[in-house]
Each structure stands twice: as C-alpha cells, then as structure tokens.
Amino acid sequence: MQGAIEEHEAIFKKMGVPTLRVKREKHLEQVSGIVFPGGESTAMIRLLKLSGLIAPLKYWISECSMPVLATCAGMILLSSGVDNFENQETLDLLNIRVKRNAFGRQIESFEEPLTIKGFSQAFRAVFIRAPVVTRVGDDIGILASHEDKIVMINRGNILAASFHPELTSDTRIHKLFLQRIERWVDSQNFRAQCS
C-alpha cells in the first residue's frame, strides 16, 4: 500500500515470481506469502485500518502461518511496540520492541556488509532511517546484528530485517522467503484450511 513496493516487485520479477499488491481482503486468498516493505509505518497502519485489512492479515499470519518478509518499516509494523514512539499503533504480530530511526535520519543512511546466520558470505545491507530491535521474546531467533544492535530476526513464519534487501542485487533473503512459501504450500491444503 505504501513504501518500497516497486523495488520488492522488481526483485521477484527478476526471480520469475509473480506478485500481487494486497489492497483488499480477497487478495489474501490469492497469495502464498506477504511482504511488508520499508516506508512509513504510521501511514501503513492508517491505510491498513482504512482498507479493513488488519483482522484478515492477523488471521492469515497468526492462524494460518502465511510466510512474511518484513523490511525496515515493515518490522516496525509487525512489532509489539515502539520505544521512542510509545503511542504508535502496530499489528503486534512479533514479540519484539523496536526503536525507530536508531541509526539517525535519512542523511545518515549507510551500507554495511552484514553477517547473517545461515549465509556463507556477508550480505550488503542498506540502512535507511532503520529501526533496531531493543527487546526480543523467547520465541524470537536473532539472525543478524550491527554494532551490537539486532537488525534481523526470525520467528516461525516471519522474517524481519531493519535494512532494505530489495535495494541490492543480492536475492538471498528473498530466496529464503520463497523457500518458506514453498514449504508452507507443500505442507498443507492451506486454501481449504484457511479460506
């Protein structure tokens, strides 16, 4: 609905994967995974409320375990709360708290080779007004940190990164997401169970 949608679409197109912009509840029945892109988290939550998508998204993600990739603002959106914006609404789908703009403003954006658990080579991470994870629940796996700050986590069907993998030519994070989709689709008659 808002944010770095085109950049994610371009990565998936390069990988031969069709995409659909989810703007209505009926669209959730036509996809096998969902990306919450970088952008403006407060605008995203407002648009999700206006479109009536909050309850359906929570159902598909929590009850049906639909695979999710959340980047930057997407991570904020899925968190249980924001330390430096206490009144910000979130979807509360991840047992984490975050801090917005933890590395500074847009002008202080940077790229950094990042060691990600499970990857044999560093990933060139692009940080733009990036959040960091300040608190994790027991069900959260930490996949990457930068300067002792948590920047990528995993929980079941959800991958969340505070950086922008869609702004690089490295498709490994998107491939990891697609592998989760394939396993989810293969593991159950998910349409019959969740539609």
Would you say residue 127 lies in a domain? yes
Over residues 132-155, the pLDDT tens digits come to 999 999 999 999 999 999 999 999
**Mean pLDDT along residues 80-97:** 93
Pick the catalytic residue from 8, 146, 166, 174: 166
Of 155, 151, 117, 153, nearest to 139 by C-alpha is: 155
Would you say residue 21 lies in a domain? no
Would you say residue 11 lies in a domain? no
pTM exceeds 0.85, yes or no: yes
Would you say residue 12 lies in a domain? no
**Mean pLDDT along residues 161-189:** 91
Would you say residue 25 lies in a domain? no
Over residues 30-49, the pLDDT tens digits come to 999 999 998 888 889 999 99
What are the angstrom distances between the C-alpha of 77 and each of 83, 124, 185? Answer: 13, 23, 25
Q: Is residue 39 left, alpha or beta, with left meaning phi > 0 and alpha meaning psi from -120 to 50?
A: left
What CATH number is attached to the domain comprising 74?
3.40.50.880
Pick the catalytic residue from 8, 72, 146, 174: 72
Tell me the average pLDDT of the chain.
92
Concerning whether 166 is annotated as a catalytic residue, the answer is yes
**Mean pLDDT along residues 17-27:** 93
Would you say residue 77 lies in a domain? yes
| Count of structural domains within the chain | 1
Residue 63's domain comprises 35-185
Concerning whether 72 is annotated as a catalytic residue, the answer is yes
Would you say residue 133 lies in a domain? yes
Which residues pair with residue 71 across a beta bridge?
161
The kind and range of the H/E element at 46 are: helix 41-51
Concerning whether 194 is annotated as a catalytic residue, the answer is no
pLDDT interval class at 192 (50, 70, 90)? low
Pick the catalytic residue from 164, 174, 182, 194: 164
Would you say residue 153 lies in a domain? yes
Residue 166 in tokens: 């869609």
